[in-house]
Structure 1
Amino acid sequence: MSEFPESDRRAALNGLPLRPELCGMEPYGAPQLDVPIMLNVNENTHSFPEDAHRAIVDAVDAAVKGLNRYPDREFTVLRSALADYLGHGLSADQIWAANGSNEVLQQILQAFGGPGRKLLSFPPTYSMYPLLARGTGTEYISGQRAEDFTLSAESAAAQVEQYQPDLVVLCSPNNPTGTALELEVIEAVYRAGEASRTVVIVDEAYAEFRQAGTPSALELLPGRDRLIVTRTMSKAFALAGARLGYLAAAPAMTDALRLVRLPYHLSALTQAAAVAALECSGSLLRNVEDIKVQRDRIVDGLKSLGLEPARSDSNFVFFRGVKDPHSLWQGLLDQGILVRDVGLPHSLRVTAGTAEETDAFLNALPSLLNQA
């Protein structure tokens, strides 16, 4: 617990010579509460497979012996492993990685954003986008979605033509709604950005949880030098604590990021853990298949209670139709279940966890909804 009262720390912060656009801002952060069932930040709650556990421990143990030396600045083995994992004919020189996909996005903004430049995105979406823009001195523009939070190719392209942004970020599957974009939306945005040379980022943090038949923007990379597809190992690979995000793009894009990255930005331990996890992708992705089963159980259970879950291509479910979201959030918390209040009217979001966690969530809802 801090020795300094919050009011004193706030006053001290306000007394510093902060950049004007940072004054009065709040840092990113979901509630970190110690409860039995945490379904609020879209972590992979399944047990780590034994083969992956052993492989990572062995790889990190070997890496520790060389910690007196700097790590491979180009993380060559990791880039090759990621290219093999993604497929689509990608090569290592089309891959970049950093400490979580947030750092990947930050580096993209450092290279292509900045003062006098603009980033367009389409709320409700990942809340880090405006924070990353602000942190790099990039103007953030909030685009518009339809009332049901969908985004059509025509609407997205028209907004790109209107604002002529330097960057567009499309979250697919979208957070917090969980829905994936059709490839025609991404193609339309890319075409609309030709005149302004707009860099188009497709954030596919939850790509491994897509419904069968939902395509990836990786299919669109050939011939599109301004297109970037970002991914993470936090979700499907259960490596949220290791912090490893990555992207696929034209080789020139990875060269651009070398201009802004910090020296030796990926530790030897991170590289070793990520490579070992990729070697055990089979067992780790079996957990993904179970998570998808739990997600679909949640969707069906919410529908049976008269709520309105969105189609989900992710490891979480966004649902509407809640009379009092905060009351329901608190009621679940009182029973040891933490979900996410995303700040949208009559809506909440819940991570798909284990079968037992899904049971607890669905069993708690009927009485809580009756009390509302």
Structure 2
Amino acid sequence: MTLSLNDLPLRDDLRGLTPYGAPQAPLPIALNVNENTHPIPDAVASDILDDIALAIRDVNRYPDREFTTLRESFAEYLGHGLTPEQIWAGNGSNEVLQHILQAFGGPGRTAFGFAPTYSMYPLIAQGTGARWIPGTRQPDYTITPEEAAEQVRTADPDVIILCTPNNPTGTPLGLDVVEAVYEAARGIVIVDEAYQEFAPHDAPSALTLLEGRPRLAVSRTMSKAFAFAGARVGYLAADPTFIDALRLVRLPYHLSTLTQAAAVAALRNSDVMLGMVEEIVEQRDRITATLEALGYTPHESWSNFVLFGGIADPRATWQQLFDRGVLVRDVGIPGHLRVSAGTEAETTAFLDALASIGSAS
């Protein structure tokens, strides 16, 4: 007899849910999950491997529970006068967000974000027992400080997650919005800057707002700009007391010795690793310009992807691109699809495939 989930004593609030996951298919051009499709430069890969080779000699022992060297490396990389005591890290930024929801959310509490936004937020909230409350944005996915503060006061959430640049729309969020939300909130405010490295160089980070705001945290990831998606390393900066709260819920020794070694080596080579960001931004802007020429409606993006509208049947267009060997993402926004900015060759393949389908509706 084949069992189903309904045959197991699953939590009632998890019944009927489906796991998170983008389609995985062995297509030559995969531009659907906002990866950095550039491989790590050979010299950097060799340096990382050297450090892993040294670290593996000690894997019979538990790793440094406080990942001290890695926190020092993140503090140096982020700058802004941050100290290692203000840094936390996990196996991808999703785990970091899960730690926050475990510590400050949970049963009987609520988490809030302005929809549409990263689809994992409600799933992490649900998985940790909190109730997700979606806010709203303007039709162009922006939001004013006044609107944001009013929605926060009305919802009165325990945890607020602000994604900037926002996934899946690419929309930036002004620091004035972050400040307004913080002032209106009684709970924790997380600014998820997973795509910050792809924003304009003069775009200020919410890291500048940390001083004097103990309920504020700024989350980052190595998955995107550092081409480290498979290594699973995310991190955040916050007040040291905030960091202490996360220690209450993390599993012991949660960052492996090998993960720590690889991340420290990558950060040591940050100048080289971030060299590919400029090329990705160039391809993103090329995508935007060509989509406009083809009659589509690309939204402003400060990230490594472009959300574009003007599609009569997104599912059909997705399938036509799939049939041409190009994988993009249907994020569930009517009339829209999202595409990651890849290498020049990958971008050309996507644009050629889209042009071969015909003009926009």
TM-score of the superposed pair, with normalisation by structure 1: 0.95
User: Given the superposition, is the C-alpha separation of residues 370 and 306 from structure 1 closer, same or farther in structure 2, using an over 3 Å criterion?
Assistant: closer
RMSD of aligned C-alpha atoms? Answer: 1.2
Q: Distance in 1 between matches of 2:288 and 2:237?
A: 32
Q: Distance in 2 between matches of 1:72 and 1:362?
A: 47
Match of 1:159? 151
Q: Deviations over 1:145-190 (max 9, x none)?
A: 1122212111110011111111100000100001110000000000
Q: How does 1:321-336 map to 2 (within 5 A)?
A: 321-336=310-325
Match of 1:305? 294
SS of 1:65's equivalent in the other structure is helix
SS of 1:168's equivalent in the other structure is strand
Q: Distance in 1 between matches of 2:30 and 2:149?
A: 38
Match of 2:8? 16
Deviation at 1:47, TM superposition (A): 2.3
1:283 to 266, 272, 291: 272
Corresponding position: 1:85 with 2:77: yes
1:59 to 51, 55, 63: 51
Q: How does 1:310-349 map to 2 (within 5 A)?
A: 310-349=299-338
2:93 to 86, 101, 108: 101
* Conservation of the 8 A alpha-carbon contact between 1:167 and 1:199: yes
Q: Distance in 1 between matches of 2:359 and 2:334?
A: 19
Q: Deviations over 1:79-114 (max 9, x none)?
A: 000000000000000000000000000000000001
User: Given the superposition, is the C-alpha separation of residues 156 and 371 from structure 1 closer, same or farther in structure 2, using an over 3 Å criterion?
Assistant: closer
Q: Distance in 1 between matches of 2:106 and 2:253?
A: 23
Match of 2:132? 140
SS of 1:346's equivalent in the other structure is coil
Aligned length: 361
Q: Distance in 2 between matches of 1:96 and 1:132?
A: 18
Q: Distance in 2 between matches of 1:229 and 1:212?
A: 18
Gaps of 5+ in 1: none
Q: Distance in 2 between matches of 1:294 and 1:124?
A: 24
Match of 1:253? 242
Deviation at 1:371, TM superposition (A): 9.2
* Conservation of the 8 A alpha-carbon contact between 2:283 and 2:341: yes
2:216 to 202, 206, 227: 227
Corresponding position: 1:180 with 2:186: no
Q: Distance in 2 between matches of 1:76 and 1:239?
A: 20
User: Given the superposition, is the C-alpha separation of residues 69 and 333 from structure 1 closer, same or farther in structure 2, using an over 3 Å criterion?
Assistant: same
Match of 1:119? 111
Corresponding position: 1:68 with 2:60: yes
Q: Distance in 2 between matches of 1:75 and 1:371?
A: 50
Deviation at 1:370, TM superposition (A): 4.3
Q: Distance in 1 between matches of 2:359 and 2:338?
A: 19
Which has the larger displacement, 145-154 or 235-244? Answer: 145-154
Q: Distance in 1 between matches of 2:359 and 2:150?
A: 44
* Conservation of the 8 A alpha-carbon contact between 1:352 and 1:358: yes
* Conservation of the 8 A alpha-carbon contact between 1:317 and 1:350: yes
Deviation at 1:20, TM superposition (A): 0.6
Q: How does 1:229-244 map to 2 (within 5 A)?
A: 229-244=218-233
Q: Distance in 2 between matches of 1:165 and 1:337?
A: 40
Match of 1:359? 348
Percent sequence identity is 61
Q: Deviations over 1:268-318 (max 9, x none)?
A: 000000000001111110011110111010011111111111111100001
Match of 1:192? 184
2:112 aligned partner, one-letter code: L
1:27 aligned partner, one-letter code: P
Deviation at 1:328, TM superposition (A): 1.0
Deviation at 1:369, TM superposition (A): 2.6
SS of 1:140's equivalent in the other structure is strand
Which segments of structure 1 move beyond 6 Å, counting only runs of 4 or more?
A: none
SS of 1:246's equivalent in the other structure is strand
Q: How does 1:213-224 map to 2 (within 5 A)?
A: 213-224=202-213
Q: Distance in 2 between matches of 1:177 and 1:334?
A: 25
Corresponding position: 1:211 with 2:203: no
